Amino acid sequence: MDYLPIFLAIRGARCLIVGGGEVATRKVRLVKEAGGEVVVVAPDLTPTLAALCEQGAITHIARAFDAADVAGAALVIAATNRPRVNALVSSAARAAHVPVNVVDQPALCSVIMPSIIDRSPVLIAVSTSGASPVLARILRARLETVIGSGYGALARFTAQRRTAVRQRLPRPLDRRRFWERVLQGPIADLVLGGRAREAEAAFETALAAPKARPGALVSLIGAGPGDPDLLTLRALRLMQEADIVVYDRLVAPPILALCRRDARRIDVGKSPGRHALPQEAINRLLVELAQGDQRVVRLKGGDPFIFGRGGEEIEALVAAGIAFQVVPGITAALGCAAYGNLPLTHRDYAQSCVFVTGHCQNARAALPWASLAHGRQTIVFYMGVAALATIERELIAHGLSPATPAALIERGTTPEQRVVTGTLKDLTRLAQGAGIAPPTLIVIGEVVRLHARWAQNQAFSPRARSAS
């Protein structure tokens, strides 16, 4: 380490900023946010600083810097565009043993300023020790997304209850366990979700019986269609807190890799015709796992409620008196449309869109073909590869034009994504010719025309193939 990270208490202390330009203005704002008494030494000020001075929020000494100015300061920042002045400020401050920062000149600094994620009272500072300020900003942006705006509220929630917890649980070890449970469980989730009143009630219940086992809870999480970037922030958080992850074949390995490293992983994957675990056994397994003192995550491809049998699993949990929560995911149709470059609705081509399963004992008898087969509607078939011939025949028999554009999107949103386009009448032939296999989504409707038109401008480039 080239630097020791520390946080400086400057509330009410004199902080000297040398310079009155734009950079100085940003520094003044930052120092004021931390409660510093700002004194600006500069011949001229930006309008913003002049206004602050007018309001009495800062003090302005309207002249050039003098070495004596650093006396009594808790912090000195040089933000002028004159190297000679900056060097002078640095040496004067160092001689007076006052921490000094010279903007963009690490060699002249005794303290350097990090990039900040402000979730007050939670503060996260990122520094590259001056090696790459741009990288620090990029890292900051990443952390901003993972550490949501609710963490400040969570820290305040905790601060307000520490005395009560100390009284209730005098032993430090008991207190630590209690807080770990609160901060990694449903109570924290409620606070982060902005549901303060429910969080308060749940906290009171937990504190009344701090050693009682927490109620069983299973989180059904939609993992999206394949690209890990399509996970929701809530899904990611719960995955990183999981003790046990029960997952499907459709959950891509890069997504599974984002679960907490020590979590136990249970594969209940199903592939067509080969049932690794029947649905009833999965339901029983979830009920059983939830009885332990562990956080169970049920990770499902796409969205749990779109052909995901999430409803059946919840029925089983409800019957066993186990609490659940559902985190929605991006369903295959939305992911495949976006990455496959075709809109599901479009004012010129489709005013409605239906999601249909092709996986039924007898698709021909089971599906409402007449209501599916009309123009100006996009039909999306999930699990339809085995039923392609039936889909093709029945839609045409019920009046849909054989020339209706159609697309097959295999492994959408993943690096292996393939898009094959053609028309309804040769869907089966297309799929066979390209060797299309599940997981594949079938999209039928005029919107598919746009795929070819947009192809050359698409930034994300799957191995698209047009066979029309």
Q: In what order do the strands lie in the sheet with 296-300?
A: 264-267, 244-247, 296-300, 217-222, 323-327
Closest approach, Cβ 156 to ligand SAH, in A, equals 37
412 binds ligand SAH (CB under 6 A): yes
Bridge partners of 75? Answer: 15
Whether 32 sits among the annotated catalytic residues: the reply is no
The interface mask with ligand SAH, positions 423-462, x = CB under 6 A, is: ---------------xxxx---------------------
235 binds ligand SAH (CB under 6 A): no
Tell me whether residue 153 or residue 407 sits nearer to ligand SAH (CB atom): 407
Closest CA to 253 of 440, 385, 438, 415: 415
CA gap 168, 297 in Å, rounded: 31
114 binds ligand SAH (CB under 6 A): no
CA gap 381, 383 in Å, rounded: 7
- The answer to whether the beta carbons of residues 25 and 46 sit under 8 Å apart is yes
CA gap 239, 287 in Å, rounded: 19
Among 157, 307, 324, 369, binds ligand SAH (CB under 6 A): 307
Angle at 177 between CA 171 and CA 178, to 5 degrees: 85
Among 182, 332, 373, 464, binds ligand SAH (CB under 6 A): 332
Element (H, E) at 357: strand 352-357
225 binds ligand SAH (CB under 6 A): yes
Closest approach, Cβ 124 to ligand SAH, in A, equals 34
Tell me whether residue 332 or residue 388 sits nearer to ligand SAH (CB atom): 332
Number of residues that bind ligand SAH (CB under 6 A): 23
H-state helical runs in 261-379: 279-291, 310-319, 332-340, 363-366, 369-372
Closest approach, Cβ 330 to ligand SAH, in A, equals 8
Closest approach, Cβ 288 to ligand SAH, in A, equals 23
- Active-site choice (248, 300, 303, 425): 248
- The answer to whether the beta carbons of residues 214 and 319 sit under 8 Å apart is no
Give the pairing of strands 244-247 and 352-357.
unpaired
Tell me whether residue 225 or residue 405 sits nearer to ligand SAH (CB atom): 225
Among 80, 413, 421, 423, binds ligand SAH (CB under 6 A): 413
CA gap 321, 215 in Å, rounded: 10
Collapsing DSSP to helix, strand or coil, 87 comes out as helix
Whether 270 sits among the annotated catalytic residues: the reply is yes
Q: In whole angstroms, how far apart are CA 51 and each of 36, 37, 56, 59?
A: 18, 16, 9, 11
The interface mask with ligand SAH, positions 35-74, x = CB under 6 A, is: ----------------------------------------
18 binds ligand SAH (CB under 6 A): no
Exposed / middle / buried, residue 226 (Cβ in 10 Å: 0-12, 13-18, 19+): buried
- Closest CB to ligand SAH belongs to which residue? 302
Closest CA to 331 of 438, 409, 224: 224
Closest approach, Cβ 113 to ligand SAH, in A, equals 44
What part of residues 281-300 is at the interface with ligand SAH (CB under 6 A)? 300
What part of residues 308-327 is at the interface with ligand SAH (CB under 6 A)? 308
Closest approach, Cβ 419 to ligand SAH, in A, equals 10
Q: With CB under 6 A as the contact rule, which of the stretches 31-39, 103-111, 301-309, 313-321 interacts with ligand SAH?
A: 301-309
Give the pairing of strands 418-423 and 37-41.
unpaired
Beta strands in 243-303 (DSSP E): 244-247, 264-267, 270-271, 274-275, 296-300
Structure token pair of residue 416: 């292996």
What part of residues 334-373 is at the interface with ligand SAH (CB under 6 A)? 336
- Active-site choice (32, 118, 174, 270): 270
For 154-206, the DSSP string reads HHHHHHTTHHHHHHH--SHHHHHHHHHHHHTSHHHHHHHTT-HHHHHHHHHHH
Closest approach, Cβ 387 to ligand SAH, in A, equals 11
Tell me whether residue 295 or residue 418 sits nearer to ligand SAH (CB atom): 418
Tell me whether residue 62 or residue 386 sits nearer to ligand SAH (CB atom): 386
Closest CA to 468 of 441, 430, 436: 430
Closest approach, Cβ 237 to ligand SAH, in A, equals 20
Tell me whether residue 203 or residue 339 sits nearer to ligand SAH (CB atom): 339
Instruction: List residues with catalytic annotation.
Output: 248, 270
| Contact residues: ligand SAH, CB under 6 A | 225-226, 250, 300-303, 306-308, 331-332, 336, 382-383, 409, 411-413, 438-441
